[in-house]
Chain A
Amino acid sequence: MLFFQVRFCGLPSSPRGMCMTDYTWTVRVERVGEQEAKVFSRNHVFVVGEQASFRETDPHPSAVEYLLGALGGDLLRGFQIQAARQRVAVDALEVMLSGRLNNPLSHLGVVGEAGHPGLESIQGTFYVSADADRSALEEMWRAALERSPLFNTLRRSVELSLELRVML
């Protein structure tokens, strides 16, 4: 599971991978094999496999899956922060995200294919089980979306369709 957290520690010397003056984050990615890349991110290291994998299993998640996972992690963490602010005890949170390329054949380089290899749409369901009214949870969800870096990046370029589902 991935956790995307950035801490502004306020120390004079910025931690590796983060510039304190203009709030940028840097990762360094190295080739470590024919089909994988290693990512160094502050004190973390993780491996990315294919750009987009069409196989059932792989040694490592693909870049597309990392992107979806990053969005999911962002949303979960954002919601948790809102819940903590409202002093709402959350029993469980889970998000399911599916991304669809505009044309996978374009990504594979099939000559004459129309469209593009980028993500056309991301659909998802955000499940929450908490001891709170539905209206309160919807308000937290709205606030989490408003403050989400990745949601607000992706929604400008991809058709994003996310549904909040409250589980009893």
Chain B
Amino acid sequence: MKPLPLFPVSTVGSWPRPQELLRALRRKQQGQVTAEEFSRIADAAVLEALRCQESAGIDLVTDGEQRRDNFYSFVAEKLDGVRLMSLAEMLDVVEDKAGFERILQTLDVPAFSIQNPTCVGRISLREPLALDEYCFLRQHTNRPIKVPLPGPYLLTRAMWVKEVSRAVYPSKEDLAEDVVAVLRQEAFALRDAGVDFIQFDEPVLTELVFTQGQTRTFMCAALAARKDPAEELEFAVALINRVVAGLDGVRTGLHICRGNWSQREETLLSGSYHPLLPYLARINVQQLVLEYATPRAGELLPVTGKELGLGVVNPRTADVEAVEGIVERVREALRLLPPENIFLNPDCGFGTFSRRPMNSLEIATKKLEAMVEAATVLRREFQDTSTVRRVAGALPGNG
């Protein structure tokens, strides 16, 4: 792994996509563009996303998830046994249509705009999930690279749609076995290729604790009905730990947020991470990438023995956070954690869903610059601390 400075600045993953890429994504889904033509357009978009990050001074870069329709649906193109279904298609097959309608209203999106990877057969890796994305980015930057992957609990709950999946996997727990195998295969391939940071996205963990009393609320797209929240959280912890078991030599992280589908903050979930803490403590990743830039996240909580990817800017607002405010937020975190355990990042991606970017390119870039400026202020303040650190071997293992 490449060394990082103190208070490294990163993103959670996605970046607003240019219009040409959005058109190409649409045409690709309709089979109207060749893979080569799509790659040509996507390559250019990735390079532009990289240029924005490098110009802003981001320490740990991503490819902006430019090739992905959203942060987890892209697996449908890479896995056998999975079909991309729009929520409009799924409305035809799911029994609980009223529940789905509530989901769509919460999301504030049309059913045609969100694609869900749906399990329709036995799943296996047809091609790498993200290794090609990493290899392309590696050719164009010397900076450390973060690769986001959908977490095993998210994928299991999203892909297992009872009406079409049960013929192959009688329960979502059955499907989870193969999801773990696929993600392990990918994570080890990424590690072997030299990826610096693998981030697993598990936004649905907050859905478990912040929507009690509702039988089915949405975080991502289609979600298989859940059991008791405590039972589900134990299930999630076990799945994540199985994916990262023995995955040494690469930094691993877990991103958990409360939704990133709307600029209407009131439609997003709200609540402290407190109910999740006992479970997060047992998850064997080095870093928790958490949103802390809005009051919805509640108070900062200690994450003993782990790094914190501290959300310091809201990806959904037009106002760019003041540098002083970001510095102050980090100072609050410093009461709980040593400086070397704090990374700076936005609360979530700027383009989680391709067709629903949360901000313009200009505002997103300014937010990155604000984080970098804050990190510069903090580094000056803590300059007596080692400036180069976090190399392979200095990290706790993955259990």
On whether the beta carbons of A127 and B98 are closer than 8 Å, the reply is no
Which residues on A sit within 8 Å (CB–CB) of B19? 168
Q: Which of B98, B104, B113, B357 contacts A129, CB < 8 Å? A: B113
Give the size range of A's interface with the partner: 10 to 19
Q: Which of B22, B88, B105 contacts A94, CB < 8 Å? A: B88
Which residues on A sit within 8 Å (CB–CB) of B112? 91-92, 94, 127, 129, 167
On whether the beta carbons of B26 and A91 are closer than 8 Å, the reply is yes
A139 contacts the other chain (Cβ, under 8 Å)?
Answer: no
Which residues on B sit within 8 Å (CB–CB) of A92? 88, 110, 112-113
Query: Taking A94-B110, A167-B110, A168-B19 as contacts, is the C-beta distance between A129 and B105 under 8 angstroms?
Result: no
On whether the beta carbons of A96 and B105 are closer than 8 Å, the reply is yes
Give the size range of B's interface with the partner: 10 to 19
A contact face: mostly helix, strand, loop, or mixed: strand
Minimum CB–CB distance for A18 against chain B, Å: 31
Which residues on A sit within 8 Å (CB–CB) of B226? none
On whether the beta carbons of B104 and A96 are closer than 8 Å, the reply is yes
Which residues on A sit within 8 Å (CB–CB) of B104? 96
Alpha-carbon separation in the docked complex, A131 to B105 (Å): 25
Which residues on B sit within 8 Å (CB–CB) of A57? 98
Minimum CB–CB distance for B5 against chain A, Å: 36
A46-92 at interface with B (beta carbon < 8 Å): 56-57, 91-92
Alpha-carbon separation in the docked complex, A57 to B99 (Å): 10
For A55, the closest partner residue in chain B by CB is B98
Alpha-carbon separation in the docked complex, A33 to B112 (Å): 36
On whether the beta carbons of B105 and A127 are closer than 8 Å, the reply is no
Minimum CB–CB distance for A50 against chain B, Å: 15
Minimum CB–CB distance for A136 against chain B, Å: 15
Query: Taking A56-B98, A168-B19 as contacts, is the C-beta distance between A129 and B88 under 8 angstroms?
Result: no
Alpha-carbon separation in the docked complex, A129 to B22 (Å): 11
Minimum CB–CB distance for A150 against chain B, Å: 20
On whether the beta carbons of B355 and A129 are closer than 8 Å, the reply is yes
On whether the beta carbons of A167 and B98 are closer than 8 Å, the reply is no
Q: Which of B22, B30, B88, B105 contacts A168, CB < 8 Å? A: B22
Which residues of A are interface residues toward B (Cβ below 8 A)? Answer: 56-57, 91-92, 94, 96, 125, 127, 129, 131, 165, 167-168
- Beyond contacts A96-B105, A131-B23: 20 other A-B pairs, Cβ-Cβ < 8 A, are A56-B98, A57-B98, A91-B26, A91-B112, A92-B110, A92-B112, A94-B88, A94-B110, A94-B111, A96-B110, A127-B110, A127-B113, A129-B113, A165-B110, A167-B110, A167-B356, A168-B19, A168-B22, A168-B354, A168-B357
Which residues of B are interface residues toward A (Cβ below 8 A)? Answer: 19, 22-23, 26, 30, 88, 98, 104-105, 109-113, 354-357
Listed A/B pairs (6) with beta-carbon separation below 8 Å = A57-B98, A91-B26, A94-B110, A96-B105, A129-B112, A168-B19
